Structures are given as structure tokens and as C-alpha cells.
Structure 1
Amino acid sequence: MPGTVRRWRPGYPLDLGRTLFPLRRGPADPSFHAGADGAYWRASRTPGGVGTLRIAAQAGEIEARAWGAGADWLLEALPRLLGAEDDPAALVVPPGPLRDAQRGHPGVRLARTGLVMESLVPAILEQKVTTLEAYRAWRTLLRDFGTPAPGPQPGLRAAPSARDWATIPSWEWHRAGVDPKRSATVVRAARIAPRMEEAGAFGHAEAFARLTAVPGVGPWTAAETLQRAAGDPDAVSVGDFHLPNLVGWALAGRPRSDDAQMLELLEPYRPQRHRLCRLIGLTGARAPRHGPRLSPEDHRGR
């Protein structure tokens, strides 16, 4: 297993699995692999080209190996990816389950990939459908239009280039189960990919404005993108099917909440609202279930 190697000691507790988990789009994501040996593999399309990154932790040290044209970029960005620019202590919570979860998971950081399109496209695919449908579409599109990743991990694939996203035929989107509204949004974003990538370096408000200027990219999609690409601690997924109930239950004991009620509860924690939502997930809190479930739709038969 050659590749280019970088060894890095974080200097802070790091839960590698939970930090990287939001970057994985389902258990069969072709761009992400969790090895039986505890190593994590990612295939990315970087400014330097396609690259593969293998990350493993041992005795407080990170060993990263990278392959391909994007190897140097991925290794340079490693600390940022693993939360070196993140500040978990910026979120102050009252005594109780939230503080217990915070103390019990000191190694959970907000990852920052620095790659906007890598997170924007799958977020668009996840709009208004079940996660099962979205993961299947992502898997299909990467299999058929992605790039085989360099290095020794079989089956790993990087997402298509912006040009390739923009030229996927309509029938291929249909075959992947993606309706015309979502596919058109991906194409619009791909055609101005350089402007999308710039948003990863912007501040919170400016980044949201840049992404949501694309028709079809709303607050939920922008938040899901910036949480991963920019490690934005305040990017709240407004419009999420489950999050308002989760937040309402955890912070107010209310089994059902809407977006407005959720944002009211989260307001005292600005600009750490997304971090708080992640922390709530770590408490294991779950709102009581009742009401209709979102059912998968088959766009391929239309």
C-alpha cells in the first residue's frame, strides 16, 4: 500500500468515525468506504484532480495516505477535514443531557471538506425524497458517470466533474430515479460550479446567499451543503422532515414542532445552532413517533 503518506497528531480528542460520518451518503456510497481495520477511505474530485484518501487513527496519531492527482491537495487539507479549524467549546449548554453528551463525546468535530459541489449534488438529490431513494440515485450516478478512484481500494469512485454532471442525458436521470426538478437543479449548479465552490470560503450569510441564488437550492439544501463543505456550526437544516420534532422534544419536551418553533428554540444558541443539533443527536433523544411516514416514490416509471 504505497501512496503519499502524512502523519499528523491532532492535539485534541478526535472521534474519527463520528467526525467523518456525515460525509457518507448511505452504507453503499461509492465515494466512501469504512474498512474492517478501522480505516476510512474517501474519493474526491479536488482542484488538483481526482484523489483517494485513506485515514486511520492509532495512539493519538492520524496516518493518512493519498493517491492520484489530488493526493497533495487532500493531504494538505487533512487537518481542516478533521476539525482542526473547529471549536466545539464555542457551544455552551446548560447542565443536563446536553452537557452530558458534550462531555461524553469530546472527539466529535465538524468536518470541513472545502469541496462544495461534492456536498451540494447529493444534498439536491435528497430533496423531498426518502434517504433510501436519494442514496440509490447517488450510487447509480456515481457508478455510471463517476471516475474510478486511484489507489488500492476496489470499487471506490469519485463524483462526476461539473461538466459531466451538466451533460448527463435526461433518460439517465430518470433511470436513476431522479425527477426533472432535481436533475435541473444539479445541472444549473454544475454550470456555475466555480461560483459554487467559492461559497465554501465565505461567511455564513454570504455563503447561503450564493448557494440559494441557484433556482431549486433552498435553505435546507444550502445548510446540508455548508455543514460539510465549510464546517458551518450555524447552518440549520430548515425544512427537514425530522429535525424540528427532534429539537422540540429535546429542548422543550414537545412531541411535534414546526420550523418556526424549532428556530425559536435554537435562537439562544446562535451561531452554534447546527452544532447543537448534532449534539442533540448524540443524546439519543427521539420524539415520540406518530403520524404518516414519508413513502418512497418511483420516478422511473413516469
Structure 2
Amino acid sequence: MHTDRERCIRAVRSKDARFDGWFFTAVLTTGIYCRPSCPVVPPKTENMQFWPSAAACQQAGFRACKRCRPDASPGSPAWNARADSVARAMRLIQDGVVDREGVPGLASRLGYSSRQIERQLRAELGAGPLALARAQRAQTARLLIETTRLPMAEIAFAAGFASVRSFNDTVQEVFALAPSELRRRSAASGGRGAAPPVPGVIALRLPFREPLNPDNLFGHLAATAVPGVEEWRDGAYRRTLSLPYGHGIVSLSPRPGHVACRLSLTDPRDLTVAISGCRRLLDLDADPVAVDTQLSADPELEPLVRKAPGRRVPRTVDAAEFAVRAVLGQQVSTAAARTHAARLVTAYGTPVDDPEGGLTHLFPAPRALAVLDPESLAFPRSRRRTLLGLVEALACETLNLGPESDWDEARARLSALPGFGPWTVEAIAMRALGDPDAFLPTDLGMRKAAAHLGLPATPAALTARAAAWRPWRAYATQYLWATDDHPINRLPA
């Protein structure tokens, strides 16, 4: 979008928050860069430059605006709506892969050379993988500086910097303030930078593009919560997280204009991947205006969208976990699926300590489930075979459902496993892979909703009608499911 100068100028003049994260405005006279919705008076148009990423702005010598904090804007919706190599690379960078494995590791996961990935990212984002990762490290550092009392040296390494010197230089360059000054300003403001009330807890706000309807989003997560791993407590969805350096517990609560996030991590180096996972779980980088505009063009969907705009697709923090749970949920009720999953968690999950007492385990990883006794599974033999086939494919890494996965290839590999029909494959594509166009025409709830609205009820006819909803059929599914009075569609009390 940054190449459409007139459209960018209109967005900046109207302070349109819908475009935050789509592009960044660099001001030639001040040397700063802003998000489109920056509250300051817009500069003269001849002094504006538009860039596709914060990293590109920083490479061009601009520093982040202290008013609008462009580094903290929602991410571009393109990275979660596309499956090409650039989008897959960005999802991996957001998960901290460059910090842990370097550019060669990023390239290897994508099946390209380092030079190819560098060229593709520069062409679209104006910056290479190292610069993009550096911009993300700067934002992670700022969060830790403002929301914890960790010593600066610990923050430097937790944010992914190789040295305290590079940490100091980057923070000074990006924010035009030394780390100690950032902390003093934050403490003086008494706002988001105030010390958290619980030691060891990182409290932050997760921004999103409005509108956001929390009903089906948090309702689905709460209604399907696996005991010991997830819970709804005091207006918040809580769950355990398996992370590269350790584990964590997160609490997520819907608030006006943001989602309140409280993270407890055994290793602060996991902050970046934890935030990325939470944003993916809640689909916070979606563009609800684009989605709802297209779906509203269908006269049968328009009243549903108008009544409750901004529905998101509830996703997952762990694609392998969701795939296992999708198999456990085949042809059984929500309650039965939770019971089956809870038994696996108790038998094979890693115990954790929750200071608040409600959570007890991490969901078992595929390698832990590879040793399970099929006779201990209280469901039909055919489904045991399906679960074991999935676990083996995940444990042996012949099936990849991670952020770098190719959606079409993942679908093909899932379909080749025993017991995987269209419903299971598309459910995994929707919630684990994050494909915004995943569609479940054979789902009973979909067919009931379609019949109620006068839409075609047979899978083939409904699929043909849904062609007009592409590429947002996963969101259309949420609107259709919401016509049923089911706990997954209600924000828990």
C-alpha cells in the first residue's frame, strides 16, 4: 500500500487507525516516523515519505515517534492472510527465528537460500531479515524496559541482542532515548510503564484494528478449554505456553481498544514468541473492515455482520496441539473432546507451577505422545489409528504445521493420513495454519445455519455460494456459527 501515495496521504490526514501497520509515514523535516493515526498535526505532503515497515524507516535514518509509538502498532494483516514466502518469512521473524537461528536458519525453514530471502524481503518491505529482526528486538526491549524491573543487561539478552552495547545503541537510535531514560519517562507517566503489581509478571496491551467482537473469540476458547492447560477466570482466558527457552502462563482479557495481556515467563527471552503466539491466537492482526465489507455484500450475511461486526477467527498458540485436539474432537461433543484431551494432558503433559493455582500442565508435545499406549485411549480403534498416525507424522517432522508451513502442502499431507477427512483438514487449516479462506461446508453447525438463513445446505451447493466470500470464508464461518445459541458464541460470565 505504501506505493499508493494519494491513498496514504488521505489516511494520514484523517488519522485513520485502520491503516496502522499497513504502512509508516516518515517526516523529512523532523526525522521521525509515525503510524497513520498519529495524533500530532499532519506534516505538509511534500515532507511525507511512506515506507512498508518500521525496519525500512529505521534503515533510512528515521527514529520512532514518541507520541504514537509506531513500533507498537498492530502488525500488517498481510502476513497472516498470505501463504507466499515473504509472508511465511515474516511470521517466522515475528516468532524470533532470526534471533535464535540466524538468517541461514530462516532460509532453511523456508527452503530458500539466504540470498533469495534477503532479496524478496527487501523488494517488498524495504529491509532484509536482519533489519526486520532488529526492529522487533527494539520493540521487545522497550516492553521489558517499561513493564519490568529487570536490570538492563538482562533485558538486552532477553530481547535477543548479542551485547549490551548493541542494545544501548539500538534503543538510542530507534527511540532517541537511552534505555534508562525510557524507564524514567515510563515510571513518571504512571501509565502502561508502571511496575506490575505481581513480581515476575509482564503486563502489556495488545493493540488491534477495530472493531473487535470478543464474544465468539473468547467464548470459543473458554468453551473448549482443556482442564489443566486452559481456563476462564475472573474475566480472563488463561493458559500455559510451551516456549523455545522454557514455558509461560498468559492471561488475556478483552478491553476497549486493546487486549490486556499478563505474561509470566520462566525465561524472558521468550517474550517475543509469546506475544506473537498470543496475537495469532486472538487473530489481532486481522483487517476487520476489509473482511466485513466483502461479507456484507452478501444479502444473507449482511444482517449478521451489521449486528456484530469485527468477528475474529479463534486460533491457537500451538499448531501441533490443535491438530491433536481436532482428532480428539472428531464426531464427539465439545465436552467429550475436552475430557479426552484432559486425560492426555494428565498422563503425558509436563507439570507446571501456577501461582494462581488453576493451571497444572503444558499440553504434551508430539514426541511425548509418540509413546502413548493406544489401548489406553477411550475411543474407537479407527480414531486411535488416526491419532497415532498424526502424532508420528508430527514427531518425525514429515508434517509441518508451523508458521513457515505451506498451506496447500500441509493440507495434502494431512489428507494422506488415515482418518483425515475434509472437516478435520479444514478445521486445522482454519485454526492451526491460520488460512483465512479455510471452509467447512460439511460441518453440522454450518449446515444448520445455512438452512436457517435460506442458504444452500448441501456441501457442494454451499461451497459454490461461498465463492463470493473468498478469501474470507473462515470469517464467514464465524458469522454463520454465531447464529446458534452455543456457549462458543458467548463471552463467558
The reply to whether TM is greater than 0.5 is: yes
The 3-state SS of whatever aligns with 1:148 is: coil
State the shift of 1:41 in Å. Answer: 0.4
Change (3 A) 1:102 1:198: same
CA distance in structure 2 between the aligned counterparts of 1:265 and 1:223, rounded to whole angstroms: 18
CA distance in structure 2 between the aligned counterparts of 1:47 and 1:197, rounded to whole angstroms: 17
Answer whether contact 2:236 2:252 (CA < 8 A) is retained: yes
Superposition map of 1:4-83 within 5 A: 4-24=202-222, 26=224, 29-36=227-234, 38-69=235-266, 71-72=270-271, 73-83=273-283
Answer whether contact 1:31 1:42 (CA < 8 A) is retained: yes
CA distance in structure 1 between the aligned counterparts of 2:323 and 2:223, rounded to whole angstroms: 12
State the shift of 1:117 in Å. Answer: 0.9
Measured against aligned partners, the alpha-carbon deviations of 1:27-73 in whole angstroms (never above 9, x if no partner) come to 6643221112x111022334444332111234423331223457522
What is the TM-score of this pair, normalised by structure 2? 0.51
CA distance in structure 2 between the aligned counterparts of 1:24 and 1:59, rounded to whole angstroms: 20
Change (3 A) 1:227 1:29: farther
State the shift of 1:127 in Å. Answer: 1.4
CA distance in structure 2 between the aligned counterparts of 1:44 and 1:213, rounded to whole angstroms: 30
CA distance in structure 1 between the aligned counterparts of 2:452 and 2:414, rounded to whole angstroms: 30
1:121 to 324, 334, 339: 324
2:408 to 188, 193, 205: 205
Measured against aligned partners, the alpha-carbon deviations of 1:260-283 in whole angstroms (never above 9, x if no partner) come to 232233233222222112112234
Structure 1 partner of 2:368:
164
The 3-state SS of whatever aligns with 1:34 is: strand
% identical aligned pairs = 26
**1:191 maps to 2:388:** no
Answer whether contact 2:313 2:474 (CA < 8 A) is retained: no
1:217 to 420, 443, 454: 420
CA distance in structure 1 between the aligned counterparts of 2:400 and 2:244, rounded to whole angstroms: 10
Change (3 A) 1:198 1:125: closer
RMSD between aligned residues = 2.9
- Which one scores higher on RCO, CA 8 angstroms, separation ≥ 6? 1
CA distance in structure 1 between the aligned counterparts of 2:426 and 2:254, rounded to whole angstroms: 29
Change (3 A) 1:188 1:95: closer
State the shift of 1:96 in Å. Answer: 4.9
The 3-state SS of whatever aligns with 2:296 is: coil
Change (3 A) 1:211 1:117: same
Superposition map of 1:124-273 within 5 A: 124-156=327-359, 157-173=361-377, 177-193=378-394, 194-198=397-401, 200-252=403-455, 257-273=457-473
CA distance in structure 2 between the aligned counterparts of 1:196 and 1:77, rounded to whole angstroms: 20
State the shift of 1:164 in Å. Answer: 1.6
CA distance in structure 2 between the aligned counterparts of 1:244 and 1:167, rounded to whole angstroms: 38
Q: Which moved more, 1:160-169 or 1:72-81?
A: 72-81
Task: Report which of the two has the higher share of helix.
Answer: 2
State the shift of 1:202 in Å. Answer: 3.7
State the shift of 1:212 in Å. Answer: 1.9
Answer whether contact 1:245 1:258 (CA < 8 A) is retained: no
**1:104 maps to 2:307:** yes
5+ residue gaps in structure 1? Answer: 287-302
The 3-state SS of whatever aligns with 2:239 is: strand
State the shift of 1:140 in Å. Answer: 2.0
One-letter amino acid of the structure 1 residue matched with residue 332 of structure 2 = V
Change (3 A) 1:111 1:241: closer
Answer whether contact 1:250 1:285 (CA < 8 A) is retained: no
Question: Alignment length, in residue pairs?
Answer: 279
5+ residue gaps in structure 2? Answer: 1-197, 487-493
The 3-state SS of whatever aligns with 1:244 is: helix
One-letter amino acid of the structure 2 residue matched with residue 61 of structure 1 = H
Structure 2 partner of 1:293:
none
CA distance in structure 2 between the aligned counterparts of 1:160 and 1:28, rounded to whole angstroms: 12
CA distance in structure 2 between the aligned counterparts of 1:243 and 1:57, rounded to whole angstroms: 27
Answer whether contact 1:43 1:50 (CA < 8 A) is retained: yes
CA distance in structure 1 between the aligned counterparts of 2:406 and 2:312, rounded to whole angstroms: 19
Answer whether contact 1:114 1:230 (CA < 8 A) is retained: no
CA distance in structure 2 between the aligned counterparts of 1:245 and 1:126, rounded to whole angstroms: 19
State the shift of 1:167 in Å. Answer: 0.9
CA distance in structure 2 between the aligned counterparts of 1:247 and 1:201, rounded to whole angstroms: 34
Change (3 A) 1:20 1:285: closer
One-letter amino acid of the structure 2 residue matched with residue 215 of structure 1 = P
Answer whether contact 1:116 1:226 (CA < 8 A) is retained: no
